Structure 1
């Protein structure tokens, strides 16, 4: 590999939620060579989903520094700090705004390699989300299936598709499933916004409780993403913690939090509507079910799993059915059960090393969306992040508070304390 692959590297990650911080930080680790000395600086975009100290600790990724700031503050920091690699772990509109803001901040001067991608399964707004991410040096695709789709979208609008780089989800891993535990454990992986209404969420909760009552010899766990009051990538309007209040639940049913990988260590059957946890489970060959009770619909995201062999209903599960995953489908989804996962990021690492060694440095960022190509769309996206049509901060854009707020104080303590030092 080029000489730059083994030098000291400075890497920054900007994230806007706990799940995107997890994806961004783990991706940054996998994108850097094992032999390199890496400094990882984390930046949390201030907003409704800024992660709490508990959420950061649950993710369990170390950073050398961690700070919370506004988008304009971040752009200022990037104009002052020399980095080799920057990972934008944001929603699509945030990525697009930062690309334009960074283009303005860096001008024609030296800049890092800019990387972005998706936290998990891409089952909606494919074209919209992809074009909002266009302009990064690497747009990561978590599977061969996604890489093919991403290139088709870019080429279809006449945009450069060379940035699309196939990798895998960075948080797959753990010991392969080796057989039933004592007690046999069923885990339902909840999602904050799927389904999105009280009736359907109550139905799923009642079916899970019914399964626990029907199988008293089993342990039945409801795996939750966040506690009431906390936000994650999506707002949870109807948390299961509130829906379960007042219900008569059996002793073998309980709610759990924590790292998904640790929960999977003791799981015999993973059940979900469409959570990325299904891919984590399939990677470890844990028996996995994607529910059809509420239909197989784009709004639920479970349509992504057609062809997987994992679709089933609670009635079938109660009767003892265990789906067998389709190996070809699993392979195309980046779930490397054949042991090839360790090499999944090799191409991305090589591409980054090549860009870092580019003579004369990197050219300015060139997103597909510009004031010329999307004059009725782009200005609104930039304005939401207090940027003008040229990517420059608007007058009066919010900056640092004179006194740090509660969330900022929590993040500072987390950075100094248990989070940073593991």
Structure 2
């Protein structure tokens, strides 16, 4: 994949769809300082992403906030998403159909200044955020620095907090995550606030119910008491892979074998692997033992049903439709399926723990075996679990917190944390390599990773 050349002049700020007032045009900055913002209540945010998943999170988050004038860009790096990945990531947001500018590390200070940012959103992997926040700290009047993760964030990582050491605030998506990241920040000695927000892709206003259940119907029968034949076989069974887990090829093949058996047993139904990247494209996390290749292996072996498994690409929304069901091991896709009332199964065969990134689902009531996947017996989480995990009421608190941070930034009341930079020197070397590598080096790196 060739690397697009960054624009010589940053694109104009894009107002979010939720903003009730017209955006205030950004005037060119005369220096690296951030000029005072207007008094109309609008927050100016510059968001920097490096991959498809972070871009999706950033554009959905910013589109959900009122009175925000946001400039979203990608930074040139080895995991830069393709045009197709970008299009899928911004679908349904204020940036749909718009060109996302690509900047280099050298462009960061100018981009922040030109858009007079009150807040810089580090919507990227740790090394990129470390470099971005260091650049922002060197401005005469620095903006507030905010970061977060593009999906479920448990278990909380001390390493991730170290990369974000210079931040003022971290966005978490459940009460459990707030507690975990507050503890992680204290252990890592990263002085920041932890804000609670709803994952922006979740649209329900109350506790989600199965899509075919009327609002006044009794609660879902607990999965443990349901017989294998009590659930309706889905017309479309969608598997949402996670790049990091399960790790072994054997475990991944066992999932594909269950999907193949489902397809073989249920000729009126379709099994789909919903992939986030095509061969040669990149995701936030590198994936070994790709399902694309493993599926070919099963087909070559003549495994019954393997030839009926389809590959799907595009926004997940297009797959979460009535009559479908979702299967995953650990993925934010499960939360999106819950949100839409889609039957969902978290595979229990490999267990639930920190290494599998799925321990939050252990008592959800939506767990099941690969044998149940093959049978098409897919359940739904309990209302109690949903209320306690990620489906809290969105009360506008994040916007209020960001407004206060913006006010403090304009008044030059944010703490100076440059003394903490020395703790990041080793981490920043990696960030420098990822953001400053010349284009030929990046292209060579990509060729090595793709084998082309």
Give the TM-score taking structure 2 as reference length. Answer: 0.74
In 2, distance between residues paired with 1:195 and 1:5?
Answer: 51
Deviations 1:273-304 (A, max 9, x none): 10110111112222211102233343222223
- 8 Å contact from structure 2 (residues 321, 342) kept in 1: no
Q: 1:96 aligns with which of 107, 130, 149?
A: 130
Shift in CA distance, 325/70, structure 1 to aligned 2, threshold 3 Å? same
Shift in CA distance, 310/367, structure 1 to aligned 2, threshold 3 Å? farther
Quote the residue 1:409 is aligned against: none
Q: Where does the alignment leave 5 or more consecutive residues of structure 2 unmatched?
A: 1-36, 213-230, 444-452
Quote the residue 2:106 is aligned against: 72
- Secondary structure of 1:307's counterpart equals coil
In 2, distance between residues paired with 1:157 and 1:276?
Answer: 26
In 2, distance between residues paired with 1:368 and 1:259?
Answer: 43
After TM superposition, give the deviation of residue 95 of structure 1 in Å: 1.8
- Secondary structure of 1:140's counterpart equals strand
Deviations 1:188-207 (A, max 9, x none): 11122322332222221122
Shift in CA distance, 54/214, structure 1 to aligned 2, threshold 3 Å? same
Q: Does 1:225 align with 2:273?
A: no
In 2, distance between residues paired with 1:28 and 1:368?
Answer: 31
The RMSD of aligned alpha carbons is 3.2
After TM superposition, give the deviation of residue 80 of structure 1 in Å: 4.4
**For residues 107-186 of structure 1, what are the structure 2 equivalents within 5 Å?**
107=140, 109=141, 111-124=142-155, 126-156=157-187, 159-161=190-192, 163-173=193-203, 177-179=210-212, 184-186=235-237
Q: Does 1:188 align with 2:239?
A: yes
Quote the residue 1:383 is aligned against: 429
- 8 Å contact from structure 1 (residues 270, 287) kept in 2: yes
Deviations 1:58-92 (A, max 9, x none): 12144365222332332343244412332111112
- 8 Å contact from structure 2 (residues 346, 361) kept in 1: yes
Q: Does 1:204 align with 2:255?
A: yes
Q: Between the two structures, name the one with larger relative contact order (CA 8 Å, sep ≥ 6).
A: 1
After TM superposition, give the deviation of residue 158 of structure 1 in Å: 5.1
**For residues 20-419 of structure 1, what are the structure 2 equivalents within 5 Å?**
20-30=54-64, 32-33=65-66, 36=67, 38-59=68-89, 60=91, 61-63=93-95, 66-104=100-138, 106-107=139-140, 109=141, 111-124=142-155, 126-156=157-187, 159-161=190-192, 163-173=193-203, 177-179=210-212, 184-245=235-296, 247=299, 248=302, 249=305, 253-319=309-375, 321-336=377-392, 340-341=393-394, 343=395, 346-358=396-408, 360-366=411-417, 369-371=420-422, 374=423, 378-386=424-432, 398=436
Shift in CA distance, 125/153, structure 1 to aligned 2, threshold 3 Å? closer
Quote the residue 2:448 is aligned against: none
After TM superposition, give the deviation of residue 353 of structure 1 in Å: 1.7
Deviations 1:288-335 (A, max 9, x none): 111022333432222231221222111134456444423332222212
Quote the residue 2:23 is aligned against: none
After TM superposition, give the deviation of residue 260 of structure 1 in Å: 0.7
After TM superposition, give the deviation of residue 129 of structure 1 in Å: 1.4
In 2, distance between residues paired with 1:285 and 1:226?
Answer: 26
After TM superposition, give the deviation of residue 7 of structure 1 in Å: 4.1
Aligned length: 375
- Secondary structure of 2:326's counterpart equals strand
**After alignment, is 288-297 or 320-329 more displaced?**
320-329
**After alignment, is 123-132 or 246-255 more displaced?**
246-255
**Runs of 4+ with deviation above 6 angstroms:** 180-183, 399-402
